[in-house]
Amino acid sequence: MKKALLNFFNRIEPDKKKQPLLHTAYDAFFTFAFTPNTVTASKEVHLRDGMDLKRTMVHVVLAMQLCYLFGTYNIGHQHFTALGMYESFFAGFHLKLAYGLIKLLPIFIVAHVVGLGIEFWYAAKKGHAVEEGFLVSGALIPLIMPPDIPLWILAISVAFAVIIGKEAFGGTGMNVLNIALLSRVFIFFAYPTDISGDAVWVAGIEEGVSQSYGMVYGVFDGLFGALGLDQFGSGGVPVVDGFTGATPLSLAFQGGWENVTKVYSESAMFWGTIPGSIGETSKPFILFGAVFLIITGIASWRIMVSMILGGAVMSLLLNAWGATPFMDVPWYFQFYMGSFFFAMAFMATDPVTASSTNVGKWIYGFMIGFVGMIVRVLNPAYPEGWMLAILFMNVFAPLIDHYVLEANMKRRARRATATA
Amino acid sequence: MRNKNTNKIICLTAFLLFAEMVSAQSAKSGDSNYLIYSLMAVAVLIFFFLLVQVSDNLLAIEAKQSGADKDGANFGIFPSLSEIFAPKLPDYVANKKVHALSKGHDILLEGGVTTNNVHQVNVKTFAVQPKNFTGLSPIPKVVVEVGATVKAGDHLFYDKKDPKVMHVAPVSGEIIAINRAEKRSIAEIVILADKEQVYRSLDEIDLDQVSREELVNFLLDNGIWPLIRQRPFNIIPSQTEVPRDIFISTFDTAPLAPNSNVVIEGKEDAFQKGLDVLNKLTDGSVHLGVSANGEEAPSNAFTHAQGAEIHYFSGKHPAGNVGVQIHHIKPINSGDKVWTLGVQEVITIGRLFTEGRYNAERVVAVTGAELSEPKYVSTKLGANMGDLLVGNMTGDNNRIVSGDVLTGQKKETTQYLNIFDDQVTVIQEGDYYEMFGWLIPVDPRPSISNTFPNFLFPDLKFRANTNTHGERRAFVVTGQYESVLPMDIYPQHLMKAILVKDFERMEGLGILELAEEDVALCEFVCTSKQPLQQILKEGLDIVREQS
């Protein structure tokens, strides 16, 4: 089978000069299917480690799979909970899953088509192979979006992030800012009503009534009807009394931890059956991904640990200050709310935009935790701080590295004068 | 010194007591103020920590003043981190200071030599290759012609920039070819060896009486100079400058590297004589890096060498690299020049005096999974590859490497062993396509990444091949090089400084302490498949030309 596929690939190879874009695409898919037969040069190392960038990137994507699974289901779960239907987590399983897929898949596809399209085009233009950076960015972007994000806004934001954030700097490995967060921050400032406030986190609710289910849902309804299961119906169901769609963070801002626990139980916040961006709610699944990344050695444990430290120190300080109800939220409960762990596991650890020295990583992670907690608690305009804190520290990472390297150079110079 | 510290303690104690009293007063009654209590607890902890820390420092100062800490023993209260986490060390280094290097990686390959017998092989042709020497002119002045007969130790060529440094014939016989490469540069001077070796007769020289200058002239004339390498840059040493120190690593941690105990067996006297000679050439010391890895106690010739400072090193590759050892013994600072030699080069120097002739014998490990019988062979410098491997290779898609798989050079059977190599490795060429090789690799392969199950089988040996396992990319992953380089150096940033030709930064980040072999393991682990050795070589060339 391998031989047949190889022959097939050889037969369809487009001409590199006449059709550069097609050839780039071909090359991307070919190297996806087959590791090339290149051998080491005569004067470099004769053995190479089995690890390459594709394998690195795909392991990050693997680490997110549980978040995808849970996030998809949670879109449906939140939708039906708001309507007072199927309130138990596993009730209406097929409907919630189908609803989540209908919401998630377009986001996933649009993010990849736009992002990869730009990557392929630039690769063809610059005459190099398609690099794997967008594998991870493309997988991260759907997880940090609200489920109802308009697709055209998503497309613009991804295009902005990839062109301005990455290709303008020279492609994978050269970007200063995290691509996934850049696309989110673009929406955050350009289309704020679509990504903040209480109304956006639960899918398919408009003015207190659920959306009318369209054609796609009809297809599923036909299938479910044939199997004798519950169906979507036509929609237009009013939401339950007292539904707000608010996230724990906005509740905490209004009235502290007590106000949060009136609406969401601690276990719901921990397991993630709450409204929020698609992939960031479920702490156990995110932590599973984080542990996976640490064990495989792909993400830096230094950044993760120091970020927890930074967040804890800042919230302890805020506890001590205690001027607002939000400041009084015990420091350990701060980690129950919002997307701290998701930012820690998948965003802050991006090796390209993080600090590149080990000492620098400690400082970088700590400062993200520290600054992010300030933004979260002290600034009423920004309900969550990690996106801004990480982008802020992305900009500072080269500076941190600069001083770490300067210290190394000074150490060397001092050693020279000491022995001379 | 002591008074100052005592004062400090008193001040601190007073301050802390005061702080505690103040904070105790400010605590509101009834209201359980955890913050104040925890701050107090922290303050008490800090107080005790400082107390212990200061007394620890006092002990260390006392030890320094009395001169008791010379051999690096720890006189503090706490065991140092390296003492707690140090691997269990073998008996022969008991009570000795060991440089325990925690970073590094051993690439375990199939095809190591299993018996310590040294076989004789019949190698017909030998060659001296001017390209083995960094910085040598591409077209040196050859003083022999094709068809001439030479004795072992006779002059072959010299560099016109440095006419006193003679390169000599490793064997006696007939010059059968002077092969040229691109731009008429000289690639090989090939000698067809005599059955009975004859040696050039040497002047008698009394090592106790001779001056440094006479000794240097003697060594220059007898082809010893090219066997010594001067750091920085790994070049043939300058004749005029006296090296700060001389460093010799007596063990090799590279994949499938030969065991020095086999190499030195029966030549202990020559090695010691070589050390005596080297001691006359430097104002500093001769430093021996000796293995404390403990599979087998190093030969007494190393552990009981006279006139040399012995330094024990334990750790994975590259702990056996002389560059790493220099970094931990006495690093190279800007302006320093040190010499490095291998064990077999020292033996050759010693034999000039013990045997009175230029005996370029080399024990070479012929290794690799593609050999029917990996073994040690005894031959001379620059032996022909085909003759070394005759009848031993299996399979037909192999790569022959002069040296180890990390730093060696690819060779054909018609080519010759490089001058500083004591190893030949034969591995499979990896010129095949692998379906989803990046995602689900079928055959095991060496890697430091835990995404492979390798880390569950730490003793697994690999039958590796030369496939790159991926394409070249920009630098993405960080911290990878640092994890396998036990030096206070940031290799990735150094490489970037070289790529942008930032001269000051290169020196600042320690390019002078590195040779290509030191970053070879970084190159192996590189996820982006960057050619680090080549980049470093370019950087070193730039710096060398500027200085």
The answer to whether B465 and B427 have CB atoms below 8 angstroms apart is: yes
**pLDDT of B27 above 70:** no
pLDDT of residue B511: 93
CA-based nearest residue to A232, from A199, A204, A200: A204
Q: What's the mean pLDDT in B416-437?
A: 90
**pLDDT of B2 above 60:** no
What's the pTM? 0.87
Q: What is the mean pLDDT of chain A?
A: 89
Question: B317-345 pLDDT, tens per residue?
Answer: 899 999 999 999 999 988 889 999 999 99
Question: B449-497 pLDDT, tens per residue?
Answer: 888 888 888 888 999 899 998 889 999 999 999 999 999 999 999 999 9
Closest-CA distance of chain A to residue B497, Å? 11
ipTM summary value: 0.90
**pLDDT of B360 above 70:** yes
The alpha-helical segments, DSSP class H, found in A90-242 are: 93-126, 133-143, 151-160, 179-190, 215-227
Please, is A397 exposed, middle or buried when counting C-beta atoms within 10 Å of its C-beta (0-12, 13-18, 19+)? buried
Q: What's the mean pLDDT in A23-47?
A: 86
Q: What percent of chain A has pLDDT over 90?
A: 50
Amino acid at B330: K
Domain membership of residue A390 (yes or no) is yes
Q: What is the mean pLDDT of chain B?
A: 87
For residue B297, what pLDDT band results from cuts at 50, 70 and 90?
Answer: confident
Comparing alpha-carbon positions, the chain A residue that sits nearest to B330 is A419
Asked which of A271-285, B79-93, B199-213, B529-543 is least confident by mean pLDDT, the reply is: B79-93
B523 contacts A413? CB cut-off 8 A: no
Instruction: Decide which of A324 and A160 is more confident.
Output: A160
**pLDDT of B106 above 50:** yes
pLDDT of residue B73: 60
Q: Does A142 touch chain B (CB under 8 A)?
A: no
Residues of A in contact with B541 (CB under 8 A): none
**pLDDT of A52 above 70:** yes
Domain membership of residue A31 (yes or no) is no
B470 contacts A55? CB cut-off 8 A: yes
Buried/exposed code over B91-117 (b: 16+ C-beta within 10 A; e: otherwise): ebbeebebbbbebbbbbbbbbbbeeee
Q: Does B456 touch chain A (CB under 8 A)?
A: no
Asked which of A240-249, B11-20, B178-187, B488-497 is least confident by mean pLDDT, the reply is: B11-20
What does the DSSP 8-state code read for residue B299? P
Distance from first CA to last CA of chain B, Å, rounded? 44
The string of DSSP letters for B156-223 reads EEEETTEEEEEEE-SS-EEEEEEEE-GGG-EEEEEEEEPSS--B-------TTT--HHHHHHHHHHTT
Question: A166-222 pLDDT, tens per residue?
Answer: 999 988 888 999 999 999 999 999 998 888 877 788 888 887 788 888 888 888 888
pLDDT of residue B411: 92
**pLDDT of B356 above 80:** yes
The two three-digit tokens of residue B466, written as one number: 């030369």
Domain membership of residue A216 (yes or no) is no
Q: Which of residues 307-346 of A touch B (CB under 8 A)?
A: 319-320
Q: Does B254 touch chain A (CB under 8 A)?
A: no
Closest-CA distance of chain A to residue B116, Å? 26
A6 contacts B474? CB cut-off 8 A: no
Q: What's the mean pLDDT in B359-374?
A: 92
Domain membership of residue A401 (yes or no) is yes
Asked which of A66-75, A320-329, B492-501 is least confident by mean pLDDT, the reply is: A320-329
Tally of domains in chain A: 1
Show the domain range for A134: 54-202+243-406
**pLDDT of B29 above 80:** no
**pLDDT of B292 above 70:** yes
For residue B23, what pLDDT band results from cuts at 50, 70 and 90?
Answer: low
Q: Where are the domains of chain B?
A: 4-85, 124-354, 468-547
Instruction: Decide which of B256 and B437 is more confident.
Output: B256
Q: What percent of chain A has pLDDT over 70?
A: 100
Question: B64-85 pLDDT, tens per residue?
Answer: 777 666 555 666 666 666 566 6
For residue A323, what pLDDT band results from cuts at 50, 70 and 90?
Answer: confident
Residue listed under structure tokens 């397991």: A271
pLDDT of residue B24: 52
DSSP-based three-state secondary structure for B41: helix
Domain membership of residue A37 (yes or no) is no
CA distance A73 to A278: 9
Beta strands per DSSP E along A9-87: 34-35
CA distance B144 to B325: 40
**pLDDT of B313 above 70:** yes
pLDDT of residue A165: 92
CA-based nearest residue to B226, from B214, B243, B238: B238
Closest-CA distance of chain A to residue B417, Å? 14
Residue B119 CB neighbours (<10 A): 13
A409 contacts B509? CB cut-off 8 A: yes
**pLDDT of B237 above 80:** yes
The answer to whether B162 and B144 have CB atoms below 8 angstroms apart is: no
Dihedral angle sign, alpha carbons of residues B255, B256, B259, B263: negative
A298 contacts B493? CB cut-off 8 A: no
For residue A235, what pLDDT band results from cuts at 50, 70 and 90?
Answer: confident
Q: What's the mean pLDDT in B365-386?
A: 92
**pLDDT of B31 above 70:** no
For residue B1, what pLDDT band results from cuts at 50, 70 and 90?
Answer: very low
Closest-CA distance of chain B to residue A176, Å? 12
Domain membership of residue A356 (yes or no) is yes
B471 contacts A38? CB cut-off 8 A: yes
